[in-house]
Amino acid sequence: MTWVLENLPRIGELTLAHLALSLPAVVIAFVLSIPLAWGANRVRVLREPVLTGTGLLYAVPSLPLFILLPALIGTSVRDPLNVVIALSIFGLALMVRSAAEALDAVTADVRTSATAIGFSGVGRFFTVELPLAGPALLAGVRVVCVSSISLVSVSAVLGVSSLGSLFTDGFARNIIGSIVAGIVMTVVLALICDLLLVLAGRMLMPWQQTSRRRRPLPTRAREVAA
């Protein structure tokens, strides 16, 4: 505990570094997944190959990828960019299928009616289909976010600073406080980010709560009400 108190500034620093590596990856994975998912849904024969193909990216072991990327894109081994790109790939692997399914689940009735009242194709996508796919997209983003935050730690092995560094340093120098702090902070960070996503979802998609509340009351509640 004393170790933690003495090293608070460093823990804070590493937490920020951790976020700087993981959050861009989440955003990139999300942004890239939408057009990919849209395309996959659009060209039906390509749907399964694209979804399975991107899904398989997740099977690539993370450590070798962190090491392989510099050779492929010409960055140095300790460049944080490697980590962001690798995490984006993993995020994409998780996100594309979620996004494709989310967009596919928008009901035909709503699509037809949006077309019938005069939405253009692009307008319909951004103002009708994308928002309605929102709840399912959010579920996907939450998984990607938590997964990215936990995966970042691996990059500490390569010497890229993150909360994982607390873990590697702690091991190397046999400081239990450092190891525990690394683990606890990663979990806390993942939980906070997840909570923020849920809150953002509530704010951006207010129609959801209301439709949930509208569901018929359970039988007992109805009897009481009567």
Partner 1 sequence: MIEFRQVNKTYPDGTAAVQDFSLTVPSHTTTVLLGSSGCGKTTLLRMVNRMVDPSSGAVLIDDEDVADVEPVALRRRIGYVMQHSGLLPHRRVIDNIATVPRLNGASRADARARGYELMEIVGLDASLGVRYPGQLSGGQQQRVGVARGLAADPNILLMDEPFGAVDPLVRVELQRELSRVQAELKKTIIFVTHDIDEALTLGDQIVVLKAGGEIAAAGTPAELVQNQQDEFVSRFLGLDSGRRSLTAATADDGGWLISDAQGRPLGVVDSQPVQRP
Question: Quick one: which of 32, 40, 132, 151 contacts partner 1 (CB under 8 A)?
Answer: 132
Q: How far apart are alpha carbons 144 and 135 in whole angstroms?
A: 14
Angle of helix 176-204 versus helix 163-173 axis, rounded to 10: 170
Quick check: 44 binds partner 1 (CB under 8 A)? no
- 110 in contact with partner 1 (CB under 8 A): yes
Contacts of 98 (CB under 8 A, 6+ apart): 33, 136, 137, 139, 140, 143
Give Cβ neighbours of residue 16 (< 8 Å, ≥ 6 apart): none
Stretch that binds partner 1, among 22-30, 116-124, 153-161, 189-197 (CB under 8 A): 116-124
**In angstroms, what is the minimal distance from the CB of 133 to partner 1?**
10
> Can residue 109 be called a binding residue for partner 1 (CB under 8 A)?
yes
Binding mask 200-219 for partner 1 (x = CB under 8 A): -----xxx--xx-xx-----
What number of other Cβ atoms are within 10 A of residue 139's Cβ?
Answer: 14
Out of 1, 45, 71, 117, point to the residue binding partner 1 (CB under 8 A). Answer: 117
- Residue 76 interacting with partner 1 (CB under 8 A): no
Ramachandran assignment for 215, one of left (phi > 0), alpha (psi -120 to 50 degrees), beta (any other): beta
What residues make contact with partner 1 under the rule CB under 8 A? 109-110, 112-120, 123, 128, 131-132, 134, 205-207, 210-211, 213-214
